[in-house]
Amino acid sequence: MLSAHHRGRKPPQGEFSGDRLLPATMKRTPKPLENRLNDLTWRDWLLFQKSWFVHNPPPREKGVLLHPAKFPETLCQEFIEFFTKRGQLVLDPMAGTGSALLAAVRCGRRAIGIELNPQYACIAADRLAAEEQQLCRDESSGLAQVICADARDLLRLGLEPVDYVLTSPPYWDMLRREGFETQRKRRESADLDVYYSEDEADLGNIRDYQCFLKELVGIYRAVAEVMRPGAYATIIVKNVKKGGTIYPLAWDLGRLVGEFLVLKDEKIWCQDNQRLAPYGMGKCWVSNTMHHYCLNFRKPEAKRRARTAPGK
């Protein structure tokens, strides 16, 4: 039979669905895009996708000055709000004085921190208690927990599946470098730590770079075990200069951790409020390093089992 088009008439207005013609009034409308990762607006999502950002931390609170390499809660919160939804669980296996944990509580997430140094663990616990009291919210009580332990023992702690990992490791033994510029003022004060601890289990006390890498990657392997499938992990780190040699810590972690978690991308954290120092002036190129790598990994989703016919 000739179609309406071939008979010289216009076909009826509508939309084909299988072998039926739907009236124009019944056309399907696309479903709104579902945000399965976070609670952000699409605008905020898009802004976070920029591959670099400038973040100059606010002055430290007096109670956390002791720690020699704390990273800011304001930065932590931006990452946590992108990679999680409210109520999900954030892990920092090297919690320090609790920056990531505090940021998680402030945006309604749960958090677990593991910290080797008992003094820093106590500071983190006190800060969390004070934050929960200040928030005056019933639902904030018990959102975060600090465990004083070696991160190497993570798998023995019986943690529930983790939705997001945010952490920053020691930058090898960088804090023990004599003449390390950013530590000069700390050395002049008897009240401030110059390095993390004297504990032999402290990764920041390992002198051999390859040994340090092996121990650190071993911790991240354990971290990957407690992550739920599809969860993200952000490691904030930078490359290390020592004795005229660059040790590509960030790139080595990207390669080695990428063997068991998928390296999705990097965001470059830039700081433009630090003083320039005349390293190698008039003799050789030595940069003023004012950026960190925020390496974003993802645990692969669980593979779906293929359906088989009955009896096979």
Site of tokens 């004012």: 290
Q: For residues 184 and 69, is the Cβ–Cβ distance under 8 A?
A: no
Q: Is 157 helix (H, G, I), strand (E, B) or coil?
A: coil
pTM of the model: 0.79
CATH of domain 37-275+282-298: 3.40.50.150
The string of pLDDT tens digits covering residues 271-311 is: 888 889 898 899 988 888 899 999 999 999 977 655 555 55
What is the maximal distance between C-alpha atoms in the chain? Answer: 97
Q: In 11-161, where do the E strands start and end?
A: 14-17, 20-23, 52-54, 89-92, 110-115, 144-148
312 residues of the chain, pLDDT tens digit each = 545 455 555 555 554 445 455 565 555 667 778 999 999 999 999 999 999 999 987 775 655 444 445 578 999 999 999 999 999 999 999 999 999 999 999 999 999 999 999 999 999 999 999 888 777 655 556 789 999 999 999 999 999 999 999 999 988 766 545 555 445 554 444 444 444 456 677 887 888 999 999 999 999 999 999 999 999 999 999 999 887 888 999 999 999 999 999 999 999 999 888 889 898 899 988 888 899 999 999 999 977 655 555 554
Q: What percent of the chain has pLDDT over 70?
A: 73
Q: Give the contacts of 60 (CB within 8 A, at least 6 positions apart).
A: 70
- pLDDT at residue 68, rounded to an integer: 42
Q: For residues 222 and 151, is the Cβ–Cβ distance under 8 A?
A: yes
Q: How far is CA 129 from CA 5, 56, 61, 123, 165, in A?
A: 75, 26, 15, 10, 22
| Bridge partners, 240 (sequence order) | 247
Give phi and psi for 20, each to the nearest 5: -110, 155
Q: So where are the chain's domains?
A: 37-275+282-298
CB count within 10 Å of CB 84 equals 24
| Bridge partners, 167 (sequence order) | 235
